[in-house]
Amino acid sequence: MSRVERSYLRPVVKTTPAFYGFLVMLLVGCGLLFYAWWIQLTEGLEVTGISHWVPWGVYISTFVFFVGMAATSLATSAWIRLRSKDEYLPLARIGEFLSLASLLVAAVAITMDLGRPERMISLFTSGRLGSPMVWELIGMTVFGAGALLYIYFTLRYDYRYLSESVKEAPLRLKGLILLGGGKGDRGRVPGWLSVIAILLMVFFIGVDAWLFGSVIAQPSWQSLLIGPVFIAAALASGVAAIAVASGLAGATFGLHNYLTRSLFRGLSRALAVLMTIYLAVVAVDKAMVLALGSAEEIAVAEAVLTGEFAWSFWLAVVVGFLVPIAVLLSPAGSSKKGVVPAALLALFGIWIYRYLELVPSMTRPFIQLPWGSTGPLPTYTPTLIEWGLVAGFFVLGTLAFTVLMKLFPMTPVRERQSAHV
């Protein structure tokens, strides 16, 4: 193995004490996640702050957030490979790993939110096709199967190379992962598979938007723009997550030579455009509700814009939308030191708005409350247990991404071989 090859395969073949320390921290965080879940299992979902009137809180907000991230991370990878943008292949690989990690978190989150995990089996065996929850499960299953097939094709050549050329490689299940891959396989992903990956993104996010729109008891969920809002949020979160993950990969594995300034400049431009589009779609959606919505829908919009949820909305707009856009459009936005913090703030803003898509509507339902219209509105306050679960989801996603980065090279082997022939 040449010096150049050993350089970009260093994270796979060499493990530093710092990596072990980081891994231990993540494992401790995951332990706290499952401890919080144990408390929920033994004491009931009430310990999370959700109730009969507000059954979805930051729990499901985070689930929706990771669903969008999983779908668009994979679609971004597919777009790069479909357009043969070889200089962006490191970002394609990061997007693939990020998609798998996000899908894992989404699956864990929705299972935990059911209260009793065995109910997930009932959805497979006794679910009704008219149920939005069943369609959510179908969407996750179809997308997960498609994502695994797509990523299998992208990793197959790399794994054969590692198995045959790098004795220190941590994976030795060659027969399994090389199924159908011979010596002539050069790691190219068929164009039709990339197209399917992009269509899977549209399907997966569309199922989520339809799930919300089918709940007729909640004002604002039947908005004409709920689909565009979901797609815009997912696209922005996927690109922002790839930017943050690139920064994490560079810091954890020392891959600064391959995550170049030009890659971060491209991420900066894409994220600035997507965040601007997302902000515009949100603004148009709110304007349409205020101008044409029912009394209940207007009440929800006013609660978000000027009422009890206004502080979180304007925090998201200013800190999570406007500040990242300003940074990305400035000279600082062309470097990693500018892009990664801006992407983190963008993810923060998108996550807050995911929360605002759910909870305000649930506190002001269309249906008549048992105590009448003059009684108090339903309230929701996340508990320490629920915040612990949400924090644990992010730790679990980081752990899954880190392990994948350790097992496979970030830069596809084919690309580095062709670049140094």
Beta carbons of 92 and 267 less than 8 angstroms apart: no
Rounded to an integer, the average pLDDT of 159-171 is 57
| Tens of pLDDT, residues 192-209 | 778 888 888 888 887 777
| Full-model pTM | 0.84
Higher pLDDT, 163 or 302: 302
Beta carbons of 66 and 393 less than 8 angstroms apart: yes
pLDDT at 168 over 90: no
Beta carbons of 244 and 258 less than 8 angstroms apart: no
Between 28-37, 177-186, 367-376, 393-402, the lowest mean confidence (pLDDT) is in 177-186
Higher pLDDT, 313 or 257: 313
Higher pLDDT, 113 or 127: 113
Q: Which two tokens stand for residue 133?
A: 């929850």
- What the chain holds in terms of domains, given with CATH numbers, is 49-368 (1.20.1630.10)
| Tens of pLDDT, residues 358-409 | 888 887 765 555 555 555 567 778 889 989 999 999 999 999 988 888 877 7
Residue type, 298: I
Residue type, 269: R
Rounded to an integer, the average pLDDT of 240-265 is 78
Q: Which two tokens stand for residue 383?
A: 């508990």
Most confident of 54-58, 126-130, 218-222: 54-58
Rounded to an integer, the average pLDDT of 14-19 is 76
pLDDT for the residue 176: 45
pLDDT for the residue 343: 93
Beta carbons of 74 and 197 less than 8 angstroms apart: yes
Q: Is residue 272 very low, low, confident or very high in pLDDT (cuts 50, 70, 90)?
A: very high
With CA atoms as reference, report the closest residue to 95 among 244, 229, 225: 244
Distance CA 201, CA 207 (A): 10
Residue 213 CA to its chain's centroid (Å): 21
